[in-house]
């Protein structure tokens, strides 16, 4: 007669194993569909199918509450209202960048002149390569990922200390709760010798960017406020900031927020397995391929002439953008040159915010004044220079070293 081993491990429950596998598959599917919908603006399944899969995932997690993890799509909206926000110390300070007070195109020339002087370049030397970006009129945010999972979101605050607004930021569909293991660069006919073919997601990754509200979402929100007889918001930036600082994440979830990524904070060092970026542009493309929204208008520009062309080009497009900007930002592309240039007080020498005149304050000499919209229609400026690159990886012009 066969005796039963009372101390043997119980046989695995085949239904539980099936549920666990299905749970993982559902989470992966829903993350992929959310990315396609919110970031790529190219949904591949109807809303009804997404909702059906979401409800199936919810049912599994209700049956197995110990399986719920912070990166599950069901956890975007949740948590009780907070009494107050916790204070977060930024591992890498969220420093502000210098604002160019000359709002005309000559401000771009002034920045390039300063950079070339700091680098001791002569007229015979090649142009400095920059990355030109939009300056969003929103709320700066730092997203911290550990092992690919969003664990914290913090406001800029005073640059050293910010507020933990993780519960509210999780409600923004464009922000991934979990990012994949690695990304690969687009295929190139003849990659440079020794050029990296991909970047692993580091164990620690802090993504810096801007939370904002689109103009159409802002108008729709104010319309709802009017219908309820409640106070309307002054502008999209104030509405976005108010939503982020809501103590109740349920209320924050009702505010239509969006996000753009534009940089990094703390990252696992390259010698410990982190990414070895040589340029700022390569960094931005990695962020995009990891699933973060990056503005389409990011460009590489060679020297002052192309910075000026970019400034004029974006000025002409400003009113057509679906969100507010108040200027553009220029950054030296080579990370090695950024390190060489360093900082002055608490501002990087390698970056500047070049603002546009506020609407209604553009002057054309004594006694003449026109609105920002009329000015941009009358003076559309030029297109971005022919030397601009959109997929510019591994720039070695200045022998940039990996970081």
Q: Transcribe 300-332 into DSSP letters.
A: EEEHHHHHHHHHHHHHHHGGGSSS-EEEEEEEE
User: In this structure, are residues 338 and 332 in contact, taking their beta carbons and an 8 Å threshold?
Assistant: yes
Catalogue the active-site residues.
135
DSSP H or E segment with residue 114: helix 106-118
User: In this structure, are residues 290 and 209 in contact, taking their beta carbons and an 8 Å threshold?
Assistant: no
Neighbours of 265 (CB within 10 A): 18
**Nearest-angstrom CA–CA distance, 64 and 398:** 55
Helices 14-34 and 47-63, interaxial angle, to 10°?
140
User: In this structure, are residues 183 and 198 in contact, taking their beta carbons and an 8 Å threshold?
Assistant: yes
Tokens read off for 72: 């599950």
Closest by CA position to 207, among listed 140, 263, 160, 260: 263
Tokens read off for 273: 């397995």
**Nearest-angstrom CA–CA distance, 69 and 71:** 6
**Residue 212 CA to chain centroid, in angstroms?**
11
User: In this structure, are residues 297 and 136 in contact, taking their beta carbons and an 8 Å threshold?
Assistant: no
Which residues of 137-257 form beta strands (DSSP E)? 139-146, 149-155, 161-163, 182-184, 198-200, 204-212
Residue 123 Cα distances to 117, 120, 177, angstroms = 11, 10, 48
Tokens read off for 149: 């999972």
Which residues of 246-304 form beta strands (DSSP E)? 258-267, 299-302
Residue 146: CA atoms inside 13 Å, Cβ hemisphere, count?
4
């Amino acid at each position: 007669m066969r005796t039963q081993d009372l101390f043997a491990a119980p046989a695995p429950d085949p239904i539980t194993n099936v549920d666990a596998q299905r749970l993982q598959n559902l989470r992966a599917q829903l993350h992929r569909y959310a990315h396609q919908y919110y970031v790529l603006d190219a949904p591949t399944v109807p809303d009804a199918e997404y909702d059906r899969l979401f409800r199936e995932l919810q049912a599994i997690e209700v049956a197995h509450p110990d399986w719920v993890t912070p990166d599950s799509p069901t956890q975007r909206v949740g948590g009780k209202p907070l009494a107050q926000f916790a204070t977060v110390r930024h591992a890498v300070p969220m420093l502000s960048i210098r604002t160019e007070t000359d709002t005309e195109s000559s401000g771009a020339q002034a920045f390039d002149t300063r950079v070339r002087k700091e680098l001791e370049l002569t007229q015979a030397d090649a142009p400095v390569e920059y990355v030109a970006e939009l300056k969003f009129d929103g709320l700066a945010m730092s997203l911290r990922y550990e092992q690919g999972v969003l664990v914290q979101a913090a406001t800029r605050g005073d640059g050293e200390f910010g507020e933990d607004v993780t519960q509210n930021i999780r409600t923004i569909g464009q922000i991934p709760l979990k990012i994949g293991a690695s990304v690969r660069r687009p295929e190139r006919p003849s990659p440079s010798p020794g050029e990296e073919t991909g970047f692993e997601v580091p164990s620690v990754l802090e993504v810096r960017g801007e939370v904002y509200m689109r103009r159409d979402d802002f108008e729709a929100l104010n319309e709802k406020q009017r219908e309820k007889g409640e106070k309307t918001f002054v502008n999209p930036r104030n509405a976005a900031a108010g939503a982020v600082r809501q103590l109740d994440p349920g209320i924050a979830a009702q505010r239509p927020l969006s996000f753009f990524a534009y940089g990094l904070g703390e990252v696992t060092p390259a010698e410990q397995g982190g990414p070895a970026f040589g340029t700022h542009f390569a960094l931005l493309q990695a962020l995009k391929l990891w699933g973060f929204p990056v503005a389409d208008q990011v460009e590489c520009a060679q020297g002052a002439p192309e910075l000026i062309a970019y400034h004029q080009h974006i000025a002409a497009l400003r009113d057509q953008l679906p969100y507010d900007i108040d200027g553009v930002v220029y950054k030296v592309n080579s990370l090695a040159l950024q390190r060489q240039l360093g900082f002055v007080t608490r501002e990087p020498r390698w970056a500047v915010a070049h603002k546009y005149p506020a609407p209604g304050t553009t002057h054309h000499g004594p006694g003449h004044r026109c609105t920002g919209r009329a000015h941009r229609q009358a003076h559309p400026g030029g297109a971005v220079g022919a030397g601009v690159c959109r997929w510019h990886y591994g720039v070695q012009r200045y022998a940039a070293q990996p970081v």
